[in-house]
Amino acid sequence: MKRLVGFSLGGLQHKYGDKEALTIAKRIGADAVDFGTEFSYNDYKKPDSLYSKSDEEIIAYYKDIKAHADSLGLVISQTHGRMEGFRNNKELDHDLIENARRDLLACSALGAKYCVIHAVTSIFMGPDADPELMHDLNFEMFNTLIPYAKEYGIIIATETFGDAVRFNACDFFGNIDEFIKSYKRISEYGDNKDYFTICVDTGHSNKASRYNNNPSPADVIRMLGSDISVLHLNDNDKMTDQHKIPLTGNIDWNDVLKALDEVGYNGVYNMELALDSIGGKGLEIESAEYGIKVMRNLLKLHYGEDA
């Protein structure tokens, strides 16, 4: 069984542009990529932004990007959309929906199946936000976006959270019980289940594990089970969101892979890495290549030659 190894492309997109980033990804050995669209310059209110253009122009741009990926034999397995979450601010929340809709449209044009969108976060709502408000905002946000996912033929993935750095506290949805409660409420509404899934970010879950008796990343995977469709694999020291290459922090990667086996995961082993975490700026390509090699070796050690 061929297990696809991928990584989140955003860092290379920023530095080299969309097409060249894809070319580099293929050259350094990736099978797949998580294509970034969440960037601040993708904003429908900015006159010079792609997102200020018509849907037809947005589709044409991303279909051209997909054609380039296809020519390379590279899979765009997922995309990354908005990261802010609703803030209980009418104008800002409206803007998020407008931009997130375009993220979903781009995902569809790129031929990806999943678009990762962050939940409501304590980073903006504060560490003591009313729990009912947090759940209601998260429900409203995703329930507004899911009809677009349905229209465009894709699936939204909500991502596991960690801590709210500004407040040195667990993010509200970093608490796995609150995350699961929210996921179930949204996915069980109407036919949302067909268009809503989970992205596990191992680094986020590792940071959350130091609060409230939250479980390890491997046990988060076990708790979420077959609802996991997308991965953001990365490592850290449990204290900060380092997005390091696996085996360079303190996550138990053997247990992570074992947990993924237990829940029947068969998707892309996608890493979301800070590409300057080894060697600093200027070695982003080398860091990405090394990360791919580390992940392939992890899979080989775990599965043998069948990896």
Q: pLDDT-derived band of residue 212, with 50, 70 and 90 as boundaries?
A: confident
pLDDT at 306: 61
pLDDT in tens, 236-289: 999 999 999 999 999 999 999 999 999 999 999 999 999 987 777 889 999 999
Closest CA to 103 of 21, 43, 23, 46: 43
**Residue 300, pLDDT above cutoff 70:** yes
Domain coordinates in residue numbering, the chain: 5-306
pLDDT tens-digit readout, 108-142: 999 999 999 999 999 999 999 999 999 999 999 99
pLDDT of residue 307: 61
Q: In whole angstroms, what is the distance from residue 263 CA to residue 177 CA? A: 18
Closest CA to 93 of 133, 144, 128, 54: 144
The CATH number given to 5-306 is 3.20.20.150
Query: Does residue 283 contact residue 19 with C-beta atoms inside 8 Å?
Result: no
Would you say residue 294 has pLDDT above 90? yes
Whole-number Å distance between alpha carbons of 280 and 244: 12
Query: Which pLDDT score is estimated for 25?
Result: 98
* Euclidean distance between CA atoms 95 and 154, whole angstroms: 21
Cα separation, 13 vs 139, in Å, equals 31
pLDDT tens digit sequence for 164-173: 988 989 999 9
Distance CA 78, CA 76 (A): 6
Overall average pLDDT of the 35-48 stretch:
97
Alpha-helical (H) ranges within the chain are: 10-16, 18-27, 55-72, 90-109, 122-125, 131-152, 176-187, 202-208, 217-224, 253-262, 284-303
Q: For position 281, what pLDDT does the model report?
A: 86
